[in-house]
Amino acid sequence: MILSSTTLLRPVLCAGLFLTIAATTASADERCQQLVALNNQYKGVTLTSDQKALKVRLVAWYKANCSNKRSASASPAAAEF
């Protein structure tokens, strides 16, 4: 059975939205790791315009909150996100 890209990406978008408004109990480091994992999992998937807009917001959050925490030993995937 073939699933549409919308069906496949809906959980990712929900997870991304959850990460942006998640309670402050989760540390930024955990959210950074989750975003990198999502990025790796869905690399190469075609996004709709709404999904692209959400990804832009998530990448901006990542750069503001995670970029300073990356070290020279960080994974290459983290550098690409």
Which pLDDT does position 27 carry in this prediction? 74
The model's confidence at residue 25, banded by pLDDT at 50, 70 and 90, is very low
- For all residues of the chain together, what is the average pLDDT? 73
Confidence (pLDDT) at 76: 47
Q: What residue ranges do the domains of the chain occupy?
A: 26-80
In this model, does residue 20 exceed pLDDT 90? no
* pLDDT confidence of residue 57: 93
CA distances from 26 to 2, 3, 15, 18, 54 (A): 35, 32, 14, 11, 21
Q: What is the pLDDT of residue 81?
A: 53
Mean pLDDT, residues 56-74: 74
